[in-house]
Amino acid sequence: MTSPRPRRVELDPDTVERDLARLVLTVIELLRELMERQALRRVEVGDLTEEQEERLGLTLMLLEDRMGVLRNRFGLKPEDLNIDLGPLGKLL
């Protein structure tokens, strides 16, 4: 039994808008995850005031919500943004 072929970015004239959205949203999701990790580090270190923590948490929640809206608009699921980089493995 062969395993399914890994998902890669494949551009097709009929789906170019969706494929481009997938690529852009993947980059944004990568940056969002990096920002979230950095924010958690800053909270753990005690580098932020309580007000800054609240603002940061709200901003990250809003960003995640907007990502969901955009994924829905283009018919994408969160796992669709995890692009296969071949020998390097999955991006996210």
Give per-residue pLDDT as tens, 55-79. Answer: 999 999 999 999 999 999 999 999 9
- Predicted TM-score (pTM) of the model is 0.72
Determine the Cα–Cα distance for residues 68 and 73; give it in Å rounded to an integer: 9
Determine the Cα–Cα distance for residues 14 and 8; give it in Å rounded to an integer: 17
Determine the Cα–Cα distance for residues 52 and 60; give it in Å rounded to an integer: 12
Give per-residue pLDDT as tens, 4-20. Answer: 655 565 667 778 888 88
Determine the Cα–Cα distance for residues 86 and 8; give it in Å rounded to an integer: 8
